Structure 1
Amino acid sequence: MQFIDLAAQYQHLKTKIDARIHKVLDHGHYIMGPEVLELEEQLAEYVGVKHAITCANGTDALTLAMMVLNIKEGDAVFCPTFTFFATAETIAFANATPVFVDSEESTFNICPVDLEKRIQHVITEGKLVPKAIVSVDLFGLPANYVEIEAIAKKYGLTLIEDAAQGFGGTLNGKMAGAFGDIATTSFFPAKPLGCYGDGGAIFTNNDDYAALLRSLRIHGKGSDKYDNVRIGVNSRLDTIQAAILLEKLAEFSVELGARERLAEAYAKEYAEQFIVPKLPQGYTSSWAQYTLRSDRREASMKGFENLGIPTMVYYRTCMHQQTAFVDLGYNDGDFPIAEKLAKQVFSLPMHGYASCLGYE
């Protein structure tokens, strides 16, 4: 059994993906070819925003968002401590200071109550300028944007939605990737919508942000590629990856339905043995991971291993416990819910091509 069966997915889509790749090979526009623009248009339509700007990977998407919002030294950017390293890394890379926030136990996502407390503390302390919030849609479930957007507005902060895992999920009918001032996603192969390499995208309804993003991703270009009007980066999505994503996006709704059925099967099977994820009212999840909780995690994972079922842990170490952030002065116990989750969580195989769903 595969944790994420990309081979089965490819076999299912092989004819269409191969045809798309060969079309790129025939026209030879490997960088910023026509498939890139086609994908951006389809992504914007799917998410329900004015602009989708592709880039080289999800980390670059966050970095570009920091650049557009002018995040800099002396700024405080609030983000969850229970997340993948890139969330906080890109804040530090912009020379700003990540201010970590505890989690909601029931959803794994950033806790709005603790978020407001951390903002108030930074304001009271007066050492940093509160600038932005990065909210992560963890394991496929959008964060509580009803409350988070209200907090951002109350304190005059910009909001970045990190939808790398949440892409395909919804809150009150609104797609992940459509929240905040800017949203980002990743097309890493293991993500709900993944390519066959690295890739990412940024979403926004702000015309000025979109124009700046399109410049920054290609060395800060102006009217043509040899007129550079600002310092940018080299972060373009390869045309072949765009071609692959076009076929995967066309199948995405079918795969989300299969993921949902697998999640329902897991819940039915394991609800009495483990703490299983539950969807709050008004939410759907893209089930980037199906994450159980157990106070006997290692023994539980061994039990699944004995059955031939692979498991993974996302995440064993919170951001405030990472060696790279030791100078920020956090201590164990500062984020009790996140630290508890980090000791309990483990994930089961999740993809749309499990044999129990009719695929062999």
Structure 2
Amino acid sequence: MSRHLSSSTKPAAAVAGLVVLAVLVIGLVVGSMLVRRSQDVRQQAQTDDQAGPTASLAISPAIASRQKDQTFSLNVMFTAENVPISAVTARVSLPNPENNRVIAASNLRIAADLSNSADWACPVSQINNTPTHTQIDVSCVNTAAAGATFPGVTKLATFDLVTTNLPQTNPLPIELDTSLSMVSAKDVRQPLSTSLTDGRVTFSDPAATPPSPPPGPPTGTELTLDAKFNGITTDRGPITALVKLGRVGNTSQLFDTTTEFTFAQNGQYQAKVGLPASLDLTKGRFWLTVKGEKHLQRVFRPLDLSVQHQLDLTAKPFQPGDLPPQDGVLNIADLDKVLEVMALPGPTADQLNSADVNFDGVVNAFDMGLVLQTLSVKVDEGDAQ
């Protein structure tokens, strides 16, 4: 009897075991699917939160000072973070009303990297005047199947400007039209966000009579300083510097002033420094220090200023590296500032000025190279005695 019961319950037990096993398997499969779906949702959310690739368009130099009747060039530059691109379009606009049209734009030319390439076509390259503005339009398209990739800052086009009189708006804004200036990615599923950096030009009239300065203390001897700035061989506009003067053997300064070095010739800059009439230059020898706005200080000594009033300082070029706000040393903070601005997709004019040590309107590997070069040079930034 007991043997009969045992044999009859075996199939039932087997079926029950199979049912339990099936439920467990189904539960594991469903659980795995839910976990995977949750992971997919999280991954999609992370992807959605990540910022897409960026590009930039900029006027270079971003800030410039020019004289009336002086023809000069401005560049339109772009970056695309090594993303394959299919087109670059820019509209540059500057106020130039027809009732006082004193600015002439001309000689628009596409950069050689694009115009000499069989993969690029630039169907739009023109200058137009509206009743209120002058507009420079450039549009270039890449025809290669894979698009074009650029590792760094690349020139799109260059144009010339000249003004026959001081414009009504001075400084003159040089603006990129937000709706017609962009860098387009080759892959339409990966759109580029384009940041724009405008420029501005301040015009002056050298023939204009400056206002009479307020009466001050009588001036004595005028020193002429001829100097060189490392990394700068052409006219990049005025460079501000702090000049101090004292007697050898005494660290106390007798005189200090801020002056501007302007381009002279052959890569040299020149500044004029008027000394006070009360300063007796016939007694002893003197030391002179000069510190550029983005440079380490240079010390020149001993100087006989009783007869020598034009000083040739070119043998010790001013070395860049002490970036604003200056602290008298070149250190990791200065290097970090250059790297930080280089990494920005669209730096502002102030950010560019803070790290542009060769004053060419952009911050790139050339600026970093100059700062690193200064690190390898012993510069006498210390006390002048």
Category of TM-score, reference length = shorter chain: under 0.3
Task: Answer 1 or 2: which has greater helix percent.
Answer: 1
Task: Answer 1 or 2: which has greater strand percent.
Answer: 2
Q: Choose between structure 1 and 2 for higher RCO, CA contacts under 8 A separated by at least 6 residues.
A: 1
Q: TM-score, normalised by structure 2?
A: 0.22
Name the larger-Rg structure: 2
